[in-house]
Structure 1
Amino acid sequence: MFLSNNYDDLKEHLNGDIPEPLGSQLLLKLFVRDAETEGGITIPEKIREEDIYKSMVGLVMSKGAEVYKDEHLKNWKSPELGDWVLFKPNSGTRFSYHGVPFRFVYDDCIYCILKNPDAVHHG
């Protein structure tokens, strides 16, 4: 599984083959925590992979043509490609594509844009 959280690394890995969402959906690359903790403890890859699907944090990789165009959302700030976002748990459809963990999520399931995805912890 390709576990990088770097937007440019992901684009290069996918070689331009990024799924294009339809309608008002966004394609999010699911956040993967670092392989090593601040204390220097190495987290096994299997644990990191299992943790991915509990994530509520994603990197915006592509957006459908109708994102944030619905009347009740038109004044919302639309995240840009490469932004980290917090989304509604269990929303959308998750899948792996070329070894990258993704999720399609509707625009009204995005709560906020994040500056630091590492700061989010599951409650």
Structure 2
Amino acid sequence: MLYKKALFLCLISVSFSAVATAQTNVDQVGFDLKAECTTRGTDWDGTGHGCTSDPQTYTAPSGYVIVKDSVQALENSGAGRRHNCPVEFRDDVEIIKGVGIYQPRTMIMYAEAQSPGGMSSAGKRGWARCSFVGFITKYQ
């Protein structure tokens, strides 16, 4: 009989949509990034298990920044003791020289979950399915 020690499912997908009219350059572009993970089932003795998807890194193209206030980390589905969708921002760029207004170029996101604990939860899994939506915009 084959027993697998752990099951981790990780997924990332990317889609973009332009937000502009046909007469103008594309100054703002929407994104929808996804990540997910699933734990193995809680052990017969009630021991729960955790999962974290591989960190997914998105860097805006040259000349663009991520509009930090537009980013939403949405949990599409989750189960278990803990399930969430953390996001971090890096590589801040001063978008208007000398004014001191900064926006990030890089975003790191992932899904994490913990299976339910307790003997009555034997075999139950935890999971998190996350979407990260927002915009990137051109800067000078």
Q: Give the TM-score normalised by the residue count of structure 2.
A: 0.25
Relative contact order, higher structure (CA 8 A, sep 6+): 2
Q: Give the TM-score normalised by the residue count of structure 1.
A: 0.27
Higher strand share: 2
Rg larger in structure: 2
